[in-house]
Every structure is written in structure tokens, then in C-alpha cells.
Amino acid sequence: MLTLDDSTPDRHLAAEIVRFTRSTTRRHKRSRVSLSERFVDAYSWGLGIAVSLTIAASFVLALRNEIADRSSAGTGIIGAQWLILPEPVLWTSVTYAFLLVVSNLARKLGPVTVGGPESIWWLTLPIDRRPMVLPPFLRKAALTGTGLTLLYLPFSMVTAVNRTAPEHLLASVTFGAAGVIAVTLAAFQQLGLLGPRIGRVVTMTALLACAVLPTASSSPWPAALAFVAAVVLLVLAGPRTGEVRSEELIRGGAVAGHAGASLFMMDSNEVLRALGGGRKTVDGGRAAGFFARPAGGPLRALIRADVVAFLRLNPPLMPSVLWLVACVAMPLVEGGLPEFAQLGIIVIAGCATASGMGGVARKAALVPELEALLPLHPALVRSSRALMPCLAMAVWMAALSGLLVLLGASDPALIAVGALAGIGMGAGTLRSATKAAPDWSAPPVDTPFGPVPRAQLGSLMRGLDVTILAMVPVMVGLYLGYTPLTVVVVQALFSAGIVLLSVLSKPKKA
Amino acid sequence: MGSVLEAEGLLVGYAGAPVCGEVSATVAAGEILGIVGVNGAGKSTVARTIAGRQAPLDGDVKVHGLLIDPDAVPFRRQVSAVFDDDLFFPSLTVREHLLLVARGHSVADPEGRVEEELDFFGLLGRADAIPDALSSGQRRRLLLAAGLIRPSSLLILDEPEQRLDPIMRVALGVRIAEHARNGGAVVLVTHDPELLLATATSCLVIDHEVRELEPVQGASIIAGS
């Protein structure tokens, strides 16, 4: 008979198990990849990174010089500003929003996790789990800190042209440390040291303070404070990582694995599905009365089902509102970004908001056999599926255009143009939902500019292409500062064409 | 002998909805509880809940008088569960997987025990193969070997006969019975009437109403007679 022994598990044994697994894995990998292959890999990666960094650096420097050289007034999409937002407020808000995104992602992806095989072969062993989960957690925290430090450097150079080089560096280090704090606070929530609600409040408060710190980069103390806070939190959380419950470890690992694989395959639909997995559950009761009402015919029944499904899947409201606020706040800054940069950010905001509205279409695209069962033409089915995204995006774009008109960016006709653009953008989500995963085995096509992976790019851009296209006329209206009838007509034609293209084109098959 | 597993008013399911009736059962050391039922009845869900892999909707499950907690070291030491988890370290060989479990459970002479299990499960010839190079039946044998190489006072097996050839099924039945003879308790979810008859000392039929029957009656339910 075995004894019910609850003696302290042997940490050395756990470390030995981890070492055994890792060293065996390394040995196996080394045996499969030759030295020359590794050299080619390292060379390709190095070259790719160097080229990307060069392009990014030249873009950042050009933008910085543009900002430094231009006059402070009359260069944005709002010609005569009657409401001015202090520049530090906007950039601090952007920093804060970014830190909240980091914190949210950290919570969704763990941050303390194990992968699939580890969950079966490690977690069931009667040993301390700390050596299994602590090193990957520390690695994640360090990578987040380093990545955010590098990412903040160009942001600091563009948004604070008066800072000296050491000040840019200090601000970046502060931001990197803030990222580590966000990750560690997510680990605190995993450990149950902070409840879900308290955890959110504490995280939001701590990150607000962290978002302000980079603005005070003239002194080394804010960076030192953020760095010490990050280290203290890591020291507090690290020794307890072995106490994270297996359910949490497996959940985070599953989301991270799914999202990582989707990113590797560059399948944006799958990335959204992976990250949406941890969202609040589908509201099965919402709009039940509306759904229960008798429907006159299959099309009306389908439209009703799609409307209810859209409402029950909880389309992301907060990100849509935040993007709206960001788009409105950005042109209010005195001496802010140049006009084209402002328009570019509005396009990015529009694409990001539209992608959140395609949940029903993406889920429906997973089981095309269900649609085949409906006694309706596939184009009618796709029209029904596009209805709610079109409506939601029309409302969002009308709200954005209305606010910009209120601030003096254009005349009231822009609101109608914005609403029309929203319809096209909503149809773009349907096109995006039915895109096939890129076929990386297809050879690139020779062009005068060299080989181009046209098939893969076509697959990646499906949906996004028409969403951007739908925004072109409204952007022209914003650029002009008034809305000629031509812009209204062109916008109507663009949106109608995009809707027709989206509902009439068959889904791409992998 | 004292009871190893006690389930009292156990309700299992997903998203708050139960999949079968309440389960109440006791398994003492040396006993083998067979769990049978039609597809989708909730057998595996009951087994997963007893193994601590999902939370019960209601009721209690105790192992050695303590409420189950899959994160507690004593629970992990006492309970060995084999489900159809086709997840392996892609770079570890069959032998290395078993060695990992044996060492993790502080088995005396782990290398020797690994060789014994490889021999029993007919995996000696594939001991240095990685999981991707194995057939599905061989992967199943590896999972079973991992569940049996380690000491445990409660062994939970979810349809262990799946993907095994008839000879291996018989050998597995002998092995399960031996585990019970050595003082272990076993929960065996199965669709195989012969395996049930060869091993089980009692039987639960999972349905909207859970009934405790003799293994012979359980076997005839599985056989559809």
C-alpha cells in the first residue's frame, strides 16, 4: 500500500527533469540540422532583420525631420483648430493604451504557461513545478522588456523631437520596464494574488503611472524607479510561479500555441480566433425574443439568425471606442503628426475596428457545409452575413466623420460619405473571413522588381484590400477639407462595388 | 481494505449542463470499477472529473479521504490517469518519455523499469523512435506504459483497449488485475466486454440515471444483448 506522503517535492529532481527534456530536445534538433543549414538560416534572418531595421529607421528619421521642420499650425486634417489638446496628453494616452494592450495580451497568453506535451508529461509528476515554468516566464518578461524598449525608441524619436539621445534611451528603458511590470501583474492575477476585478484596477492604475514616467526622461530617476519596480515584482512573483494552477498553465499555453502557430502561418483570422478564445462566453440569452418571433421566409430567418449571432458574440465595443477616441484626439494636438500620417492612422483604426466585426462571418466560414444546407442562393447568405458588420461600421464611420466635422475637418456631407464608407468596410470583413490560409508552397512570381510571392500576398491581403479601398474617398474628403459631390458619388460607387464583390465572389479554398 | 476513491452525488458536464445522472461510487484498494455506457453517455467526462482534469458541477470526489486537487503533490503521486492524449515531446524517444516519468516519480532503478515496460508493451524494437515515427497503436502503448511504470494507488484508464490488438488487450487485462492485486484501485472506462469481465469487480452504467450493476450485466449492456 502506498503512503499518502505529502513531503516537500524535490526541486532538484524537477530541475533535472527539465534539464533532461531540454538537453535531449537540443541534441535531437542538432542532429537534424547541419551546420551549413544553421549558417544559412542565421544569415537569412540577420539579413532580413538588418533590411527591415534600415527601412524602419529611415522612415522614422524622415518622419522625425518632417515633424521638426514643419510649422506648427495648419498641417493636420483640421485646418483651423478651435480645440487644442496638449501634445504630452495624447502621447501619454497612446503609451497608456499600448501598455494596456500588452497587459491584456500577457493575461490572454499566460504569462506563466506550459505547452501541450509538458501538460501531459510534466504536470502529472509529483514534483515542484517551478523549474518547469519559471525560466520560460522570465524569458517572456525579458523579451517583452527588450522588445518594448526597442519599439519605444522610434516612437520617442517621432513624438518628442526635442529630447536628446540619452533621453530617448531612458524613456525607452522606462517603457520596457513598464512592459515587464504589465507581464508580472498578469502573472499575479494567474497566481490568484490579485482577483480578476482588483487585478484589473491595480494593473490599470500601475500602468497609468508607468505611462507618465517616460515623459520625465530628462532625469534618470523615472527609469530607475520603473526598473526597480519591475525587478521587485519579478522577485515576488518568480518564486511562486510553481503555484499557478494546472488549468491556468494549460489554458495560457493553448492560447499562446494557437496564436503563435497562426502568426507563423500569417493567418490573421486564426490569430483573432486564438486571442478571442478567452473572451467572455457567448451570451446565449441575448435577443432571444427577437429570434423567437416568426420569420416570413428563409432569408428573413437567416438575417434574424445573423443579427442575433452578431449580438451574442459580443463584438468588441471598447477597442472600437478607443480607436474612435484616438482618431479624434490625434488631429487636436498642436504640432502633432503631419496630415498624411494622421490619415494613415485613421485607415489603420478603420481596418482594426472592421476586423473585430467579422466574428460571425469567421465562425460561419469554418463550416461552409451548413450554408450549403440553406435553401438560398449563396450570395443571399453572404449578404445576410455582411448586414450587421456593414451596419456597425457605418455607425462607427458616421460617428468618426461626425466628430471630425464638429472639430472643423470638413463639411457635414462628410458624415454621409463616412457612413457609406462604413458599408464597404463592413463588406470587407466578410471577404476577409472567407480567405484561405496562404499556400507557402506556391512559387514566387518573377516581376521587374524581382520574385514576388503574389499568391501568398493575395491571400494575406484578401479583405483588407477592399476595406482600405472603401476608405479612399472619405480620406480624400478629409484631405480636401470639404466634400465635393464627386467624392460622395465615388464613395457610393466604391462601397456598392465592394459590397457586390464581397457577396458575389465565392470563398477561397485552401 | 480502506476506500481509495469516494464519489458522492457527483454531477459532471460542460458549461453548467450535466451530461449524465449523479454518480456515487466507492472503490477500495484491490477493487476495479468498470464504467460503461453508450457513446456520449458521459463516461469519459466522469473519468476526467475523477482525475481532476475538469471541475465537477456538483458533488464531491475524494481520494484517500481528501478532496481531489490535481495541483496537490500527494494527488499527483497517488493518481495515475491515462486518457487518449496524443501529445508527446516531438524530440524525445519512446525510451526517453518513459525514463522521464520513471525519474519524475523517483522509481527505483528507472532504466531497468523502463526496459521491463518496453518489453511488456512490445516497444523494445521502437524504443529509440520518436513519437512521430510510431503507429497510433504504438503511441497508445506508450501512453499506457507511462501510466503503469509509475507507482499509484488509483489508476484511471479511459478506454485503454482503443487501438490495441487482441493479444495486447488480453495482456493489458492481466496487468490491470495485477495492479489491483498489489493493492491498487482502478477505474476502468471501457467498451470491451471481455476486458470488463476479465478485470472489473463492480460496474457503473452511465446514462441519464447512473446504475451500479454486476460486471456481467455491464458486459451484456456493452455487447448490446
Span B157-181, pLDDT tens digits? 999 999 999 999 999 999 999 999 9
Q: For residue A301, give the C-alpha cell.
A: 430567418
Query: In this complex, do B76 and A281 lie within 8 Å of one another by their Cβ atoms?
Result: no
Question: Could you tell me which chain B residue has the CA closest to the CA of A18?
Answer: B100
Supply the DSSP symbol for A198.
H
d(CA B5, CA A97): 51
**CA-to-CA distance for A246 and A251, rounded, in angstroms?**
8
B95 within some domain:
no
What DSSP assignment string belongs to A397-445?
Answer: HHHHHHHHHHTTSS-THHHHHHHHHHHHHHHHHHHHHTPPPP-TTSPPE
Set of chain A residues whose Cβ sits within 8 Å of the Cβ of B90: 117
What angle do the packed helices A130-159 and A165-191 form, to 10 degrees?
A: 140
Quick one: CA torsion of A284, A290, A293, A298, rounded to 10 degrees?
-80
The answer to whether B45 touches B13, Cβ cutoff 8 Å, is yes
Q: Which of A17, A27, A29 sits opposite B103 (nearest CB)?
A: A17
- Angle at the Cα of A10 (from A9 to A15), degrees rounded to 5? 125
- Report, as an integer, the average pLDDT of B131-147: 95
One-letter amino acid identity for B165?
D
- At A365, list the grid cell: 466560414
Instruction: Return the CATH number at B187.
Output: 3.40.50.300
Residue B137 is assigned to a structural domain of this protein: no
Q: Is A507 helix (H, G, I), strand (E, B) or coil?
A: coil
Residue A13 near chain B (CB below 8 Å):
yes
- Contacts of A263 by beta carbon, 8 Å cutoff, 6+ apart: A271
Q: How many CB pairs under 8 A join A and B?
A: 86
- For A161, which DSSP code? T
pLDDT for position A37? 86
B→A interface, C-beta within 8 Å:
1, 15, 29, 64, 66, 70-74, 76-78, 80-81, 85, 87-92, 96-97, 99-101, 103-106, 130, 146, 151-153, 183
Say if B94 falls within a structural domain: no
Q: With respect to residue B81, please indicate whether it lies within any of the assigned structural domains.
A: yes
Pick the closest to residue B31 from B200, B171, B216 (CA basis): B200
Alpha helices in A160-242 (DSSP H): 165-191, 196-212, 221-237
Q: Is residue B78 part of a domain?
A: yes
Output phi, psi for B158, to 5 deg. -105, 105
The upper half-sphere exposure of residue A429, i.e. CA atoms within 13 Å in the direction of its Cβ, equals: 35
Specify the higher pLDDT residue, A85 or B200.
B200
Q: In chain A, which residues have their Cβ closer than 8 Å to the Cβ of B181? A: none
Chain A: give the shortest CA distance to residue B93, in Å: 9
Measure the CA–CA gap between A475 and A286, rounded to whole angstroms.
36
Chain position carrying cell 484498494: B29
Q: What is the structure's pLDDT at A6?
A: 46
In a domain, B131, yes or no: no
Question: How many CB atoms sit inside 10 A of residue A139's CB?
Answer: 10
Helix (H, G, I), strand (E, B) or coil at A306: helix
CB contact under 8 A, B15 and A125: no
Q: Provide the pLDDT for residue A473.
A: 95
Q: In a structure prediction context, what are the per-residue pLDDT tens digits for chain A, which is 510 residues long?
A: 334 444 455 778 899 999 999 998 888 888 888 888 889 989 999 998 999 889 988 888 888 887 777 655 556 777 777 777 787 888 888 899 899 999 999 999 989 999 889 999 999 999 999 999 999 999 999 999 999 999 999 889 888 888 888 999 999 999 999 999 999 999 999 998 888 889 999 999 999 999 998 888 788 899 999 999 999 999 999 999 999 999 999 999 999 998 888 888 777 777 877 887 655 555 666 777 777 777 778 888 888 888 888 888 777 788 889 899 888 888 887 766 778 888 999 999 999 999 888 888 888 877 777 777 778 888 898 899 999 999 999 999 999 999 999 988 889 999 999 999 999 999 999 888 887 777 777 777 777 777 777 777 777 788 889 999 999 999 999 999 899 999 999 999 999 999 999 989 877 665
Q: CB of A3 within 8 Å of any CB in chain B?
A: no
Using the Cβ of A20 and the Cβ atoms of chain B, whether some distance falls under 8 Å is answered with: yes
Backbone angles phi, psi at A295, to 5 degrees: -110, 140
d(CA A129, CA B81): 19
A473: preceding bond cis by omega (within 30 degrees): no
In this structure, the strands spanning B154-158 and B23-28 are unpaired
Please write the tens of the pLDDT for every residue from B9-63.
999 998 888 999 999 999 999 999 999 999 889 999 999 999 999 999 999 999 9
pTM score, whole prediction: 0.81
CA dist A314 and A438 (Å) reads 28
Q: Nearest 5°: phi and psi at B188?
A: -120, 110
Partners of A478 in the β-ladder: none
C-alpha distances in angstroms, A64 versus A86, A214, A341, A484?
Answer: 19, 18, 12, 33
Amino acid residing at B181: R
Interface test with A, best of B31, B63, B73 (most A CBs within 10 A): B73
Apex CA A175: angle with CA A170 and CA A180, to 5°?
125
CB B28 within 8 A of CB B3: yes
Q: Is the minimum CB–CB distance between A1 and chain B shorter than 8 Å?
A: yes
Residue A10 to residue B106, Cβ atoms within 8 A: yes
User: All 3 cell numbers of residue B58?
Assistant: 456538483
Domain tally for chain B? Answer: 1
> Which pLDDT score, from 0 to 100, does residue A9 have?
54
Question: B201 pLDDT exceeds 90?
Answer: yes
Tell me which residue in B73, B85, B151 faces A2 most closely, judged by beta carbons: B151
Are A255 and A274 in contact, with CB atoms under 8 Å apart? Answer: yes
Q: Do the domain assignments include residue B132? A: no
Q: Which positions in chain A touch B72 (Cβ < 8 Å)?
A: 6
pLDDT of A265 reads 75
Nearest by CB to A24, from B81, B91, B152: name it: B91
Measured CA to CA, the distance from residue B40 to residue B46 in angstroms comes to 11
Q: Where are the domains positioned within chain A?
A: 85-279, 286-436+452-504
**Taking CB atoms and an 8 Å limit, are B87 and A124 in contact across chains?**
no
- Containing structural domain, residue B189: 3-88+151-223
Q: What is the ipTM of this complex?
A: 0.90
